[in-house]
Amino acid sequence: MAETNFIDYVKICCKSGKGGAGSHHFHRAKGNPKGGPDGGDGGKGGDIVLLGNKQLWTLLHLKYRKHIMAADGVPGGENNKTGASGKSEILEVPLGTVARDAETGEFLFEITEDGEKKVLVPGGRGGLGNSHFTSSTNQTPMYAQPGEPAIEKWMILELKVLADVGLVGFPNAGKSTLLSVMTAAKPEIADYPFTTLVPNLGVVKYRDFRSFVIADIPGIIEGAHEGKGLGHRFLKHIERNAVLLFLIPADSPDHKKEYETLLHELSEFNPEMLHKRRIVAISKSDMLDDELKAAISREFSDVQPLFFSSVAEQGLVELRDVLWNAINESIT
């Protein structure tokens, strides 16, 4: 996916359709010049609707659609004819799209399933025709309800990438290289910080035709929860992952401190992320002998790190097994 094509945030002005007015018509016929009220109801205004589409991975198609408008309902007619409803505007969005009120920041809902539909902005209800207002004391009501007005407001759509496993680590921890050897994804790989500027997704093939999705999240830096580096822009994507795989390079000067810093950044951004299943893996471990691996393992008291090398393709089978088991444990 081209970096410039990955859009995970859009702000759009949505205007639903207004409801059609009810009719205050009276029946008139050759033999019945003073018939009773027969005004029909107005049609409902169109909604602004979000529709989940598993084939979409970005909000790019909405980037330049700043104004979304649904059609108005049609007024009611004679002979109790109800006006047609206004056509709703359906916006297809990737799974993991969150809708918020732009003015208040209020969370509205999240689209998580393919084909899931949710109304973002409801259309106005149609007004009742005068036939609804007849009574024993008023046989010829001269009034009918107007339709409800349209609703116009700014909305924020924000994508949180849906993946089973999220790769967490500092820049150049080896996340993109791991993704490239375990999946068919081809992320940009280079020896400088922030090679990865957008989340990359890949499907890991497992045994018996099973598979799971892994996401390479752009590297975290100290202070990311405050918006430093790529900050909030990509920390949010980790919220949707079932399992977090922390990658720490073998040549790190302090493996345990690096792990604790990553945990701190996640907890400051969203404390609930610490409740996710965590796996620690030491990348680039082909440069380590058994003695050095044992020394690194002793640095960690609460987790047992795995050792692997993407370049030498060492430890990848074990890593797949651990990730598969962790995913299924988190589901159950």
Give the rounded percent of residues in the chain with a pLDDT score beyond 70.
Answer: 86
Q: Residue 19: what pLDDT? A: 96
Report the number of distinct structural domains present in the chain: 2
Same structural domain, 133 and 213: no
Rounded distance, CA 296 to CA 290, Å? Answer: 10
Q: Residue 46: what pLDDT? A: 97
Same structural domain, 173 and 48: no
Strands (E), 26-169: 48-52, 67-69, 89-93, 97-101, 107-111, 117-121, 152-159, 165-168
Among 159, 182, 215, residue at a domain's last position: 159
> Rounded to 5 degrees, what are φ and ψ at 233?
-55, -35
Is the pLDDT at 35 greater than 50, yes or no?
A: yes
Rounded distance, CA 171 to CA 289, Å? Answer: 24
Same structural domain, 222 and 89: no
Rounded distance, CA 27 to CA 129, Å? Answer: 13
Same structural domain, 269 and 319: yes
Q: Are 286 and 312 in contact (CB under 8 A)?
A: yes
Same structural domain, 188 and 310: yes
Residue 265: pLDDT band (50, 70, 90) is confident
Same structural domain, 70 and 219: no
CA distances from 209 to 186, 203, 204 (A): 22, 12, 10
Provide the CATH number for the domain around residue 116: 2.70.210.12
* pTM listed for this prediction: 0.64
To the nearest 10°, the Cα dihedral for 44, 47, 51, 57? 160
Among 108, 124, 159, residue at a domain's last position: 159
Tell me which amino acid residue 187 is: P
Same structural domain, 197 and 97: no
Mean pLDDT of all residues in 14-26: 94
Is the pLDDT at 172 greater than 50, yes or no?
A: yes
Question: For all residues of the chain together, what is the average pLDDT?
Answer: 83
Strands (E), the chain: 9-15, 48-52, 67-69, 89-93, 97-101, 107-111, 117-121, 152-159, 165-168, 200-205, 211-216, 243-249, 277-283, 306-307
Is the pLDDT at 198 greater than 90, yes or no?
A: no
Is the pLDDT at 307 greater than 90, yes or no?
A: yes
Mean pLDDT of all residues in 121-130: 95
Mean pLDDT of all residues in 116-122: 97
Rounded distance, CA 270 to CA 225, Å? Answer: 9
Same structural domain, 102 and 170: no
Query: Which residues form the domain of 56?
Result: 1-159
Q: Are 100 and 156 in contact (CB under 8 A)?
A: yes
Greater model confidence, 117 or 204: 117
Q: Residue 32: what pLDDT? A: 73
Same structural domain, 135 and 213: no
CA dihedral (228, 233, 234, 236) positive or negative? positive
Same structural domain, 127 and 250: no
Residue 279: pLDDT band (50, 70, 90) is very high
Rounded distance, CA 29 to CA 117, Å? Answer: 46
Q: Are 12 and 154 in contact (CB under 8 A)?
A: yes
Total H helices, total E strands in the chain: 5, 14
Same structural domain, 107 and 224: no
Mean pLDDT of all residues in 90-98: 91
- Smallest CA-to-CA distance from 124 within 148, 155, 141, 98 is with 148
Provide the CATH number for the domain around residue 278: 3.40.50.300
Distance of CA 151 to the CA centre of its chain: 23
**Regarding beta strands 89-93 and 48-52, do their DSSP bridges make them parallel or antiparallel, or are they unpaired?**
parallel
Q: Residue 246: what pLDDT? A: 92
Among 159, 177, 197, residue at a domain's last position: 159
- Smallest CA-to-CA distance from 156 within 114, 105, 113 is with 105
CA dihedral (271, 273, 276, 277) positive or negative? negative
- 17-31, 190-204, 266-280: range with lowest mean pLDDT: 190-204
Is the pLDDT at 331 greater than 60, yes or no?
A: no
Same structural domain, 37 and 147: yes
Element at 176 (helix H, strand E): helix 175-182
